Amino acid sequence: MGEDPNKSQANRVGIPLSIGPVKTAFKAVFRPVVLEMAEAERQQLKSIFRTSRSLVEYGAGGSTRLALRFGLNVTSVESDPKWITKIRQSSEVVRAETSGKLNLLHSDIGEVGPWSKPVDPEPNDKWLNYVNAPWPQKTDLVLIDGRLRVACAAKAVFETGPSTTVIIHDFWPRKEYHVVLPMFDVVHEVNTMAVLKPRSDANQIAKKLLAEYRYVID
């Protein structure tokens, strides 16, 4: 997704998405890509990508393309069709979709404005479609950096297990997200990023949170 004005500028920098040389022709068909994370978060994400095989992510963008460059199979859920169109201007993304390495899903949550946020704040059942969109499937990594973050975290617990890593960006400064902590063991705290492992006994908590937060858009 795009940049969120609620994120602290002190904790975030626009970092060129590069793990090596990028062809000039590639740059020409897509705007310069930035991964909206602090340097320590970026390095942590790359370290996890190196040892992962597949990724389910909520919120497409720089992380999507970075994961592809590390060879991951990616399922990415995005609620803004205009943002998806912009992402698909990349020949790298087109190749990944054509080959089956990338499944870029548009989840309709109604008309959205900046940062993929619904124009109409009135909750509706479409929002739960966003949470459910990438499942069921097996994955060893989930990245939550989009909408409905608490509900998405609860759904990830239902669909995965202790061997899966769950990353939530912008987590530690946002106290309202901390309700998910009883579902997880904390592996790393990196700036705003939480790196977590689902607990094997967390399904009841996940069920409760999914019911309570299914209409909480942030």
CATH architecture of 10-213: 3-Layer(aba) Sandwich (3.40)
Give Cα separations from 71 to 8, 68, 101 (angstroms).
Answer: 31, 5, 8
- Spatial distance between the Cα atoms of 119 and 110, rounded to a whole number of angstroms: 8
* Predicted TM-score of the model (pTM): 0.84
Give burial (CB, 10 Å; 0-12/13-18/19+) of 218: middle
Does residue 85 carry a pLDDT above 60? Answer: yes
Q: How confident is the model over 162-177, as pLDDT tens digits?
A: 999 999 999 999 999 9
- With residue 131 as reference, give the H or E element that holds it: helix 126-132
d(C-alpha 127, C-alpha 14), whole Å:
29
Question: Where exactly are the structural domains of the chain?
Answer: 10-213
CA dihedral angle for residue 73, residue 107, residue 3, residue 119, rounded to 10 degrees: 180
